[in-house]
Structure 1
Amino acid sequence: MFRLLLFFITVLSIAGLPAEMLFAQSGSTVFDVEQASRAYIDTLQGAELEKSNSYFEGGYWLILWGALVGIFVDLLILKSRFSARFRDWAERVTRHIWLQPALYALPYVLAGFLLTLPWTIYTGFFREQQYGLLNQSFGAWFGEQMIGLLISLIIVPLLIMAIFAVIRRAPKTWWIWGTGVISIFLFIGMLLGPVFISPLFNDYSDMEEGPIRDRIVAMAAQYDIPADHIYVFDQSKQHKRISANVSGIGPTIRISLNDNLLERTGPDEVAAVMGHELGHYVLGHSWRTVFILALIMALGLFLTARFAPRLINRHGKKWGVRSISDPAAIPILSAILTLYFFAATPAFNTLIRINESEADRFGLDTAREPDGFAKVAMRLSEYRKIEPGPIEEMLFFDHPSGATRVRMAMQWKADNVENPQMLNPGELEKE
């Protein structure tokens, strides 16, 4: 259950393209949006198109198999009575009921990490290397997994302790108060994550003075976004994807972009990316996302509160689980929520995709770089299917597809640029 909560702490990112030579189509007198869009979309052909589609479509099955792996691990911990043993150990260590769930969480997190490690290694390392999307050695990659484990060993016990406190005090309405607890943790994560969590994985340094920085500062100033510090982080050590974000709350607000964005793209693309990211901040997407995710979580906890007691009444004795307020019940709660989150995947994707689409429009209006935006959208083709069907995009895409974004950019160009020219982007750079 609590590993899945990391899904909510979103780090909003976008990818882009390196600069290519652009040249106007001779003899073009009418700007055709579809023709201009196809000029970009059709740059992805042959083996590269097949590779992109294969990687992303394979991810559809990973959603299903990931859920089944999570449920299997929780059932294994239950049926082996390890869950009951973890509870018994916590009770031997302390008589304080309020502290026992936190102690239980320590071996539970470790067991979950070890039991899912083969799956994590395949999906997070070998599969990424197979498709050329990872720059790290296994040692460097595994080191970051260990950092993530240490973070989980701090956060998850606190979260479990808080949730079981409300279960004991409000056994009938705990799912309402539990939603509030999770929302508070999300807020704290948004506040402290950019300052204390992100630097554990990457080095952040102030962006050098220059025209690109000046333009970012100017765009931020339009919307009173603090831009005293613009940070560049070294994500090229992990992969070559392009990323940027405006993160934090209040005193922790910061603008960050990775080194790939500066090294692999031109100024028009950087402006398009940063306009998009500024849009997330100005449009209040972080707060909206927390609110809607809280509603989705509330429904999940409500269903858990209804079904978990039935499972405990039926199987609790052989599993060594006494009641829903027993920390040994955590794998039961986790399995139910895992199934629920799997079913809610289209809702999660739609929420994020709507936010991303709004930020796209904002970025186009702010940066006024439609061709830079189209090149950025095409970079997604490295790991995202460029042109899915409408139902496929609705179910599986948490961002608009590359084709959708390119068409949006060309339509914006037709509507907002005087005498727009048809451009041929040429072949995409292969790195």
Structure 2
Amino acid sequence: MRKWLTASVLVYFLYGLFMYWYLFVMSGSGVPESYAGSSADPQTFMTGRELILSEDYSKIKNFLYFVTVPFEWFIFFIILLTGLSYKMQSWSNATSKFSAVKTSVYLFWLSLLVTVVALPVEWLGYKISVSYHITTQAFPSWMKDQVIDFWVNYLMMILIVVVLLWLIRKYEKKWWLYAWFLSIPFSFFLMFVQPVLIDPLYNDFYPLKNQQLEEKILALADEANIPAKHVYEVNMSEKTNALNAYVTGVGSNSRIVLWDTTLNRLSDNEILFIMAHEMGHYVMKHIYVGVAGYLLLSLGGLYLTHRLMKLIIGRWGTLLKIKSIKDLTALPLFLMLIGILTFASSPLTNTVSRYQEKSADMYAIEMTGDHEAAVTTFQELAKAGLSQVNPPTLVKIFRYGHPTLFERINYLEDGHESKE
């Protein structure tokens, strides 16, 4: 156990050291020399202070991302290696004879432990964001969101894990296939209830106050044959200075949502470009394509998780104190493998997402015909979020579900020049 623990700490430290070197020493984020002075060059639309802050903030934010993603896997690994998972299973077994109750108790202790260990890292990210004036949220409000996160995730995990364990115990060889079948209606159910049940737990949503702007947005929606009756705004200025707008939900629960920070900072034409972009996703059915892709990946992921769990328990089950895949003790291993596979698949999912986002940008510029508003929108997004216009390659591959702002401005410019 000591050897494994020492090796895991060493690997994690060396990984963190590499990411620090890559982000802070090796990588640059400037635009190619041939694009100097263009609309995509941040020196043309950012002040000197904004340039320095965006560079520093982006490097710190990206470094935190890359070191915290495997940190959760590391926590699960330590829980298994030290026998904590086995002890928590013993505690839960003593509480009740009902399997669902045992699972709920075990999940509570596991969720609480992971949350408490990870909280200092979350708090560090919060403080850094506050120091760069991206986050405006007061600490009590931030803690409230953390508590809501805990209970929402915990209650959802109870439902998922109870069903998952029942499937594993009843269909040990094919549980992954039956779990995948059940995930299809569950995914659509979550998408349907999120706008009306989950999102309002964190923020207040209300109809757009600017009725003239709403009329313009709904006119765009009508032109795109989108059955929207209302546009919603959300009071995100209490939490952030960043800008955003999105379409959420499916069916009758679909919503067009604008952050009030977007409304306060952008012009009507810029907002209409963003709305046309979101409508492009709807028209091209990107939501359903994304769900289909997610379900396809999840099928492969669940099968790989099944095979890897069998292999790991067969070889190192004694060390990790896991007797069988059917035991609650194996849950941290399951969660660790799901996390690793999700991260490993992110370059693929991000590539597909970037293609969809580019298509939505092209749809928006064709619909609005406002090239100037499109370019200034992306410039304002960079300034408001202190975002790197041209981030390092690994950051783009693993973090960017959208094209970089450098790419987005350039292909808008290229399209505009070709029309002229």
* TM-score, normalised with respect to structure 2: 0.84
Q: Per-residue displacement from partner, 1:70-129 (whole Å, max 9, x unpaired)?
A: 122112222332212322233333333355434422221111111111111112x11212
CA separation of 1:138/1:389 partners in 2, compared to 1, >3 Å: closer, same or farther? closer
Q: Is the 8 A contact 1:217 1:227 kept in 2?
A: yes
Which residue does the alignment assign to 2:302? 301
- 1:168-317 to structure 2, matched below 5 A, reads 168-208=169-209, 210-317=211-318
Count of aligned residue pairs for this structure pair? 384
CA distance in 2, matches of 1:247, 1:346: 24
Which residue does the alignment assign to 2:57? 55
- CA shift at 1:152, angstroms? 1.1
Using the TM superposition, name which of 99-108 and 142-151 deviates more: 99-108
Q: Provide runs of 4+ in structure 1 moved above 4 Å.
A: 33-36, 38-41, 389-392
Using the TM superposition, name which of 248-257 and 77-86 deviates more: 77-86
CA distance in 1, matches of 2:163, 2:299: 16
CA distance in 2, matches of 1:75, 1:207: 47
Q: Is the 8 A contact 2:41 2:406 kept in 1?
A: no
CA distance in 1, matches of 2:415, 2:314: 59
Which residue does the alignment assign to 1:16? none
SS of the residue corresponding to residue 403 of structure 2 reads coil
- CA shift at 1:45, angstroms? 5.3
CA separation of 1:396/1:119 partners in 2, compared to 1, >3 Å: closer, same or farther? same
Q: Per-residue displacement from partner, 1:330-384 (whole Å, max 9, x unpaired)?
A: 1111222222233223123212212211111111122222211111111232332
- CA shift at 1:395, angstroms? 4.8
Q: Is the 8 A contact 1:41 1:403 kept in 2?
A: no
Which residue does the alignment assign to 2:380? 379
- CA shift at 1:54, angstroms? 2.9
CA separation of 1:88/1:262 partners in 2, compared to 1, >3 Å: closer, same or farther? same
Higher RCO, 1 vs 2 (CA within 8 Å, ≥6 residues apart): 1
CA separation of 1:38/1:68 partners in 2, compared to 1, >3 Å: closer, same or farther? closer
Which residue does the alignment assign to 2:107? 105
- The partner residue of 2:412 within 386, 400, 409 is 409
Q: Counterpart of 2:364 in structure 1: which amino acid?
A: G
CA distance in 1, matches of 2:361, 2:80: 46
**1:393 maps onto 2:396 in alignment:** yes
Q: Is the 8 A contact 2:217 2:275 kept in 1?
A: yes
Using the TM superposition, name which of 157-166 and 41-50 deviates more: 41-50
CA separation of 1:277/1:350 partners in 2, compared to 1, >3 Å: closer, same or farther? same
Which residue does the alignment assign to 1:19? none
Backbone CA RMSD of aligned residues: 2.4
Q: Is the 8 A contact 1:36 1:410 kept in 2?
A: no
CA separation of 1:221/1:358 partners in 2, compared to 1, >3 Å: closer, same or farther? same
Using the TM superposition, name which of 178-187 and 148-157 deviates more: 178-187
Q: Is the 8 A contact 1:300 1:337 kept in 2?
A: yes
Q: Is the 8 A contact 2:391 2:404 kept in 1?
A: yes
CA separation of 1:307/1:39 partners in 2, compared to 1, >3 Å: closer, same or farther? closer
SS of the residue corresponding to residue 99 of structure 2 reads coil
Which residue does the alignment assign to 2:70? 68
CA distance in 2, matches of 1:48, 1:209: 30
CA distance in 1, matches of 2:262, 2:75: 39
Q: Per-residue displacement from partner, 1:15-74 (whole Å, max 9, x unpaired)?
A: xxxxxxxxxxxxxxxxxx997635776223534223223333334433431233112211
- The partner residue of 1:82 within 84, 95, 114 is 84
Q: Per-residue displacement from partner, 1:260-288 (whole Å, max 9, x unpaired)?
A: 11111111111011111111122111111
- CA shift at 1:386, angstroms? 0.4
CA separation of 1:99/1:366 partners in 2, compared to 1, >3 Å: closer, same or farther? farther
Identity %: 25
Please, which runs of 5 or more residues in structure 1 have no aligned partner? 1-32, 420-431
Say which structure is richer in helix.
2
- CA shift at 1:413, angstroms? 3.0
Using the TM superposition, name which of 338-347 and 210-219 deviates more: 338-347
CA separation of 1:49/1:137 partners in 2, compared to 1, >3 Å: closer, same or farther? same
Which residue does the alignment assign to 2:27? none
Q: Is the 8 A contact 1:246 1:277 kept in 2?
A: yes
